[in-house]
Structure 1
């Protein structure tokens, strides 16, 4: 089951390969999106490292290094379909909308084994939902409401620490993360990033187009 379909604290029963090629994706193609990134967030790094260490000997996983930890928020579109000047205009709209939102703190606590990834959900989720709502507004203002992708109701903010690369039972991964004893990570959310990313090497890697600070 997808993370958004799991009850709090519930794990999926089965897992599958995260790296199947979703519609439109291929090697070399780039995608604009709003993400929250975590430069210098050492509590998050500590928690992620504890889980990566426990999972290191497990088969069929892509472990995510600190550099590429992120909270996926809202996609915009492929770089060959959304011109750079439009992406920059969307960033400007989002900058204005986000400027009045106060910075806040979330906690990344108990790990969840979802269908394609092993993740730490963010709590409370509501402030992140508000950020996503505002980024969707920014996209709509520039591209039109009909160009806002992704279901607004199917979103559960989280940070992935590993992606699954094969189909099978979730139980071995549940057991591995269950052995970890680590304090929840408290993370200050002070900005949203508009990024241009790719997945050419079975890792989400990106360049930052714009950093949009919160108040």
Structure 2
């Protein structure tokens, strides 16, 4: 793919997993927080597609060279094995719906075991797996509070 004009391969060190689609940079201000930009999550629950972008296209021109290049790519399921990781210093807000299975403290312990030091958990009422869609106003309120306080260490 690197031979297609306009294709920019993402270096390994910049790869990340997108867990929730929000919109293009033309739609979302770089300075805006999610809660300031969207009143609802634009990606539907049935369209949930976590993904890793490995290439970006940044040129005008015919789509055919890009499409032809992609057809030649052989893909395989990705498996990530992380043997060791450092601590995560960024505050993390983990929100689950009260109708979602599993104990939130079990998940919280998994985050802590993985190195997350500043963790806040919350359970949204009347929501399942997609609390951010099912009870958007409540989730945004939690996010605003979390953002304002710079993380809410010690809250459960």
Q: TM-score by structure 2 length?
A: 0.36
Computing the radius of gyration from Cα coordinates, the structure with the larger value is 2
Task: Judging by fraction of residues, say which structure has more strand.
Answer: 1
Structure number with the bigger relative contact order (C-alpha 8 A, sep ≥ 6) is: 1
Q: TM-score by structure 1 length?
A: 0.28
